[in-house]
Amino acid sequence: MRISPHSSPVVSYYFPKSVGAHHYGERHPMKPHRLALTNALVMGYGLDKQIHHIYDVRPATQTELEAYHDHDYIDFLSKVTPQTQNEMREMLDQFNCVEDCPIFADVYDFCRMYTGGGLHHAKRGEASGFCYINDIVLAILELLRFHPRVLYIDIDIHHGDGVELAFYQGYYVSYSIVSKRAHNQNVIDYERDQIGTRDERPNVTLRIQSP
């Protein structure tokens, strides 16, 4: 017997067209240009014919970024440049904008543009793991305005620690994290984080680490 879905699937595609023009630096492994290449593949293979809505998203406002992030951190990102970073050395260390998260030309414009792209390591008051703004946290906060609970599924080579930290003590976000296991061990490890009582651990994480 065939079971009909409750609703027809609607596919939306978000791609800020100029995001691929930004550059972290010659030797940095993070390459925003890969987003432009991915978009070219989507269009080249005709996948856009299966997409209902395609959006060239607008840059996020400072108010929207501060729905999660500290004002001082966002203010710093809006002012720092490659030319002024030496004068702001103490703040670079404070906000962790060092090796993994360098200051490059128009870094703040890049942050405003990519918000909506899935960079999951940034913390409330500092950059982390190539990520300056945690747009996933901002998206979940927006969803919580309309829905009582959110399920977040993270599929990445690295653990989405920034999102987990943001909602660690919340009752309203559950997340499943699929990441690469350390040391390339050829096993799959299913770990359910400290479940405990509601007061001890109000939400539940299912972490799947794969080879």
Which residues does the annotation mark as catalytic?
121
**Distance (Å, rounded) from C-alpha 166 to C-alpha 162?**
6
Q: Which long-range contacts (CB under 8 A, 24 or more apart) does 1-4 make?
A: none
DSSP states of 154-204: EESSS--HHHHHHTTT-SSEEEEEEEEPGGG-S--EEEE-----TTT--S-
209: Cβ–Cβ under 8 A, 6 or more apart, which residues?
178, 179, 180, 181, 182, 188, 189, 191
**86: helix, strand or coil:** helix
